[in-house]
Amino acid sequence: MRSCTATEAKTHFGKLLDQVQHRPVQVLKHGRVVGVMVSAQDHEAMRNFCANRL
């Protein structure tokens, strides 16, 4: 999984949006993972998977 700093994510947000269409991207702040960006399609698939497990 690719990672970038929060500053890079902020500065290059459009590029980041393009990248998450292909694979998730971890966002780091002070060397710690604070979030993960995924495409809307991947997010929907994860929501459906979790909903079907209940």
pLDDT, position 39? 97
pLDDT at 27: 98
pLDDT score at 37: 97
Buried b / exposed e along 15-29 (16+ C-beta atoms within 10 A): ebeebbeeeebebbe
User: In 1-54, at which residue ranges do the beta strands (DSSP E only) sit?
Assistant: 2-5, 25-29, 32-37
**Which structural domain range is residue 15 located in?**
2-53
Token duo for residue 6: 């929060």
Say yes or no to pLDDT of 54 above 80.
no
Count how many domains the chain has. 1
Helix or strand holding residue 51 (H, E): helix 40-53
Question: What was the pLDDT predicted at 53?
Answer: 84
Return the pLDDT at 24: 97
